[in-house]
Structure 1
Amino acid sequence: MVPPVASCRCHFFDGCGDLQLPLPPGGGEHWVDEVLRRRFLRLARWKEKRRRLDSLPVSSLMEFNREDEIQQLSLSADFLVELSDGIFTQREPTSSFATFSHQAVDFILSSLRNILSSKREKELVEEIIDGLVARLMKRMCTIPENTGSVDCSDAQFSVQHLFRKLGHEEFIGQRIILAVSQKISNVSEILLLVDPFDDSFPDMHDNMFIMIQLIEFLISDYIKKWLCCEQFDKKIFEEWARSILKARKDLEVLENINGLYVVYIERVVGRLAREVAPAAHQGKLDLDVFSKLLC
């Protein structure tokens, strides 16, 4: 059993689905409360120990020293993925999910900032974050069978909101947009071939809108902050900007199936063009890419 949480309501999911959420005081650079930090880490380690006792495969990342920041980042990522599984299978009560996912996201962002500031093990950190994004993406875009009375749409939007909160850090946010835009292109290719009467068609249709909406959220919430970041990754910025342009081109082929895809992706491209115009003139974005955003 997961330890009980305080009865006070967690506001982590307030404003889920709203554009332009106000950033917390200090630009979100608040320090995680030490009591919650220690409590969360104890719970994450307890779950990892339970998995070992159940003889499940253990990642080599777990072989680090107990206090290693990278180990803590990996533990937190695994814990958050397990929580996201719980909202589909009812293994976690709603109040626990809100509270612990809030702590997990804050812990991941705090650990990531500490690691990046020390400029160490970047490749290993990239592997952890890419794995976290891929696993959460799979859960957001897959509705499991035999979900009983679980409202899967609410669960999917909850995972989308986790992505949105994780995107506060440029290191994660840009990788989320890259993964989502590539997934949009993949799904669009599948939709060209799938029978509209296939049972999987409605799910793919819903997933498309969830993914496009997520990109719009991230651009609206954080693109200005990312561009001012000292560790801004210009290379991945151009990569996901090109990927969004490719997604738009792929969705145009689907216009006869559903014209709304193009309407929504055009809105995303338009917002991106407005937000990155200053960066393009500062040399942070290839002008050829910027010109295509304006087309």
Structure 2
Amino acid sequence: MSPSQPATDDAADLPRHLLGLEGVSAGTINRVLEEAQGFRALLEKADKKTDALKGRTIINLFFEASTRTRTSFELAGKRLSADVINISASASSLQKGETWLDTVRTLEAMTPDALVIRHPDSGAPHLAARALDSHCAVINGGDGPHEHPTQALLDVLTIQHHKGPIDGLKVAIVGDAAHSRVARSQIHALHTLGAAEIRLVGPKTLMPAEAAPALGVQVFHNADAGLKGVDVIIMLRMQMERIRGAAVPSQREYFRLYGLDPARVERAADDVLVMHPGPMNRGVEIASEVADGPYSVILPQVTNGLAIRMAVLNLLARQRQSAGPA
């Protein structure tokens, strides 16, 4: 589908909401990636706007602090010519005692076409989607440590742009996987698209509670062993706001054992990609010379994030027109 043309009847094949990537088919993921490729090309032009969502309304409802994701969704909506409204919990009626679901229902009554929700509690976007009576699409902008689907999709788009198909690649996800919604979405997407091997690398205290076989990953507590021969390294931020107690002795010790420095990059494949969902903690998860080095695609991830969010909004916000009244 061209980014500037109306959605076709096959929009009906898409899910109504994007709440996570667990159980989402390869066909649906590839449909979003294909759409994003068109928008990625648009972003390289002088005129970066399209009227694809002219007349549509997007509401970004963030119950948790965010700069990258909220800005990316806001800019994506505006590049599509949608009316975009940003609401943060600190400025909402929640401060006056209203429940967050009442806030969602009130916003639904204003007939938006898509509602992007970030919430500190896992499952909050799912509850919101079940509470809606209209055909407004709910998009998960990150729910607690559960999932962050658009981040995983932009990571996949970045990998494909540099490596081609995901099928057959070895990917290492390094760091605080226990508290990372990004890691869970990445694992689902990479499995669905046929990655040969997914490794989680980090200390036992920062590994998910789920058993490795249940996630379909290999766990390495030694970073040098975990990075050997991998095609892609995805570094994770230390989720200090979610960690209870002392998960690691110190940030300095963590970097010594698990930080990505040039020596560890050398253990990976010769054409390895280095990625990070941001924001980065330099000197804790990753050395500056790696983050700014020749293998890094961290800034292209940000650009691809805009393309992915344009694709998701364009595909899901259009469905209201074809669906008609609820």
TM-score greater than 0.5 by the shorter chain: no
Indicate the structure whose relative CO is greater, using CA pairs within 8 Å and at least 6 residues apart: 2
Give the structure-2-normalised TM-score. Answer: 0.28
Q: Which has the higher strand share?
A: 2
